[in-house]
Amino acid sequence: MADALTRDQIEQFRQDGYLGPFALCSPDEMARIAARLDADLFASEPPQQGLYQSRHLDNRQVYDLCAHPAIISRMASIYGPDLLLWRSHFFLKEQGAAEVPWHQDTNYWPLEPPLNISAWVAIDDATVENACVHVIPGSHQTVVPHVRSPEGMLFAEMADMEYVDTTTAVAMELRAGEFFLFNERTVHQSAPNNSDRRRLGLAVRVTTPVVCVDHRRLFPGHKVVVVSGEDRLGFSDAADPPD
Ligand SMILES: O=C(O)CCC(=O)C(=O)O
């Protein structure tokens, strides 16, 4: 399969809980995609600071980014050929945007069992200066308790820092058009954006048909979309990709 991961890469993902960066498209191509998203999607409904959810369900450009073979082939190397796209988030950090605290995604998610692989796709260049995501290698091997975040953070709950060692954290600096993979327990964060450059990323969330998504904890009409292979189990409600 094109873009399949090697055995060594799969082993590295299992050991570190993240992998990449990889190229989805060139920076020039991503600039064209970003201009179209700005014109067609964000002009009428700007992404809020923080979360902007699951527009792959009603926007073909967003769906095509989420279901891009460069992402899905690599995910299939790890989780097999049957894959469900169950969620996507635009994470916008304008100048002055607050911190996304250290956290494990599984703390917030309605998945049973809690199994997910994410691709974080850079729509703008993401650097330390404009608040790229940081990950902690190997942190997915422990479930970390979460506590209320202090005022001013972008998430209401965060990892209890008694259980998190940030000294080995890695800054995932990406050119526009690149992405990295991480799993549902990899502890990650992004700092406040103290630069004058916007930082927009798209987080693509994929699981397998053995997982049941509790749609009631998301929004009315929420469904998964089969992005590879087939869903032989039907535990989660499914929709077709948008036209
Ligand atoms: O983009 C960010 O700043 C945070 C990303 C994140 O928390 C995620 O993708 O789960």
Intra-chain end-to-end CA distance of the chain, in Å: 26
Tens-binned pLDDT, residue by residue, of the chain (243 aa): 678 999 999 999 999 999 999 999 999 999 999 999 989 888 777 666 545 579 999 899 999 999 999 999 999 999 999 999 999 999 989 999 999 999 999 999 999 999 999 999 999 999 999 999 999 999 999 999 999 999 999 889 999 999 999 999 999 999 999 999 999 999 999 999 999 999 999 999 999 999 999 988 887 888 999 999 999 999 999 999 999
- What pLDDT sits at residue 56? 94
CA of 209 relative to ligand 1 center, distance in Å: 24
- What pLDDT sits at residue 232? 97
Nearest 5°: CA angle at 71, between 67 and 77? 115
Provide the sign of the torsion angle of the four alpha carbons 150, 156, 157, 158, taken in this order.
Answer: negative
Question: Would you give the distance in Å from CA 150 to the centre of its chain?
Answer: 24
Does residue 120's CB lie within 6 angstroms of at least one atom of ligand 1?
A: yes
Does residue 190's CB lie within 6 angstroms of at least one atom of ligand 1?
A: yes
Question: The whole model's pTM is what?
Answer: 0.96
- What pLDDT sits at residue 46? 66
Residues 6+ positions from 160 with CB-CB distance below 8 Å = 144, 145, 146, 147
- What pLDDT sits at residue 40? 86
- What pLDDT sits at residue 1? 65
- Residue closest via CA to ligand 1's atom 3 equals 190
- What pLDDT sits at residue 16? 98
CA of 173 relative to ligand 1 center, distance in Å: 13
- Residue closest via CA to ligand 1's atom 1 equals 91
- What pLDDT sits at residue 41? 82
CA of 49 relative to ligand 1 center, distance in Å: 12
Residues 6+ positions from 78 with CB-CB distance below 8 Å = 5, 10, 13, 117, 181
Alpha helices for 80-170 (secondary structure H): none
- What pLDDT sits at residue 61? 95
Does domain 7-228 fall into CATH 2.130.10.10? no
